[in-house]
Amino acid sequence: MGFALLFGAALALPAGFVIGRLGHQVEPGRSVGQGSSLVRDMFSPSIRTDPFFIDRQREGIEALERYCERTGKSCAEARAARRRLSQLEGRD
């Protein structure tokens, strides 16, 4: 029984590494974490300056602005969010 367990683990470990790498490749020529907005830079000391975070915030604000245009609701929130994003981007 112990041999079967060790044999199964010996097969599962490399198979897990191979399966884990599938579909997680970065575009060639783009380095993760250095101005790239592909993924969050987990080594960044501040999330506020991370391009990935800023891009996600921008997408959310644009959706809120579209909602405001369509329904007339949450317009004050959309304006406040746009001002805050401008501050984060350093465009006071």
Query: Which position has the token pair 């991370």?
Result: 50
Helix, strand, coil % over all residues of the chain, rounded to 5: 65, 0, 35
Closest CA to 61 of 34, 84, 31, 43: 84
Is the overall model pTM greater than 0.85, yes or no?
no
pLDDT tens-place string over residues 5-64: 888 888 887 777 777 666 555 444 444 444 456 777 777 777 777 888 888 999 999 999
Q: How far apart are CA 58 and CA 42, in angstroms?
A: 20
User: What are the helix and strand counts (H, E) for the chain?
Assistant: 3, 0
